[in-house]
Amino acid sequence: MQYSRETKIQKNHNRQLRDVDRLANYSFIFLTIFLFILEGQSGDHLRILIAFFLAVSLSLTAFLINWITLGGVYAAIVFGTVILGFGGWILALLVLLFFISCSLLTYPIPADNRELTNALRTNSSAFRRNGLQIWSNGYWVALFAILYFLFQNEIFLVLAVSALATATADTWSTELGTRQQGRTYLITSFKKVEPGTNGGISVKGTMGAFWGTLLIGICYMILHGGTRLEFTTIIIISGFLGSVSDSYLGACYQNNNLTKNHWINRYFDTDESLNHAVNFAASGIGAIIALFLIQLT
């Protein structure tokens, strides 16, 4: 009876997550069609169509090599179309860099061929990104890409890249910080915790966050030859601070012993949904920090 009840709860939770995923897909599909018809010029139409076909090709390839789930394919097609169609080639290349680098870091690295075979069998689906993971990291990137298309102001492109830098820094921090055992401390109290604990920080993880956001910032500067140096600096700073906010939110809301009976559990009742919410909030915070720094310059 208990097993049936837990299975029913899990099925209901999975259904709710799929509904959120579909809502994001449908919302951006509507915006894409709307802007394609009413705002796009002939050159924009061609780029959006190219973006769609490239997104389909790359998403199916990622699915075939077990980098994303089937649900992730739908989200990746919509997301990729928006990013290239409205954000342009610079943002699209940076998103591709984020996805490839984070997928390679997430993939298990066993010691020998036997462990590699076992890892492939065990983790072939565990590390794949689903639709919600794509949108929790990419929602703000896609939104600012659309605003950049509408207003043609580089500030919106910088905000999109800053949100992306936050997602990159967070993933690099998590993966590099947990690959080997080391001293890890909770960001809110600096008490020693096990590596992989939500909200835990370490020297390796912090350096991973810095190198991740530095990669995005430098590549943006190289690809966008005419950008102001302060925009590159803002991307690097906001991406790093955004990843710090992710750790802080994780410490406050993702540790069961700290959030038991907390109001947030009423809305995010599983670790998976809570993790998506934290990633979504952190990437938005990274963009807000960038906007604040832009106003200071």
- The answer to whether the pTM exceeds 0.75 is yes
User: What is the rounded distance in angstroms from the CA atom of residue 119 to the CA atom of residue 276?
Assistant: 25
Q: What is the mean pLDDT of residues 168-179?
A: 87
**pLDDT tens track for 125-163:** 446 788 999 999 999 999 999 999 999 999 999 999 999
Please tell me the predicted confidence (pLDDT) of residue 271.
Answer: 67
Q: Which residues of 219-244 are buried (b: 16+ CB within 10 A; e: fewer)?
A: bbbebbeebeeebbebbbbbbbbbbb
Q: β-pairing, 192-193 with 200-201?
A: unpaired
Cα–Cα distance, 99 to 96 (Å, whole number): 5
What's CA 35's distance to the chain center, in Å? Answer: 24
Judged by DSSP in three states, 182 sits in: coil
Is the Cβ–Cβ distance between 68 and 62 less than 8 Å? yes
Express each pLDDT in 215-253 by its tens digit: 999 999 999 987 789 999 999 999 999 999 999 998 887
Of the two residues 53 and 105, the one the predictor is more confident about is 53
Tell me which range, 33-37, 180-184, 257-261, is most confidently predicted by mean pLDDT: 33-37
Mean pLDDT across 113-122: 42
Measured over all CA atoms, what is the biggest interatomic distance in the chain, rounded to whole angstroms? 64
CB 199 within 8 A of CB 255: yes
Q: Are 278 and 249 in contact (CB under 8 A)?
A: yes
Q: Which of 246, 258, 105, 134 is nearest to 191 (CA)?
A: 258
- Using pLDDT thresholds of 50, 70 and 90, give the confidence band for residue 112: very low
The shares of helix, strand and coil residues in the chain, as percent rounded to the nearest 5, are 80, 5, 20
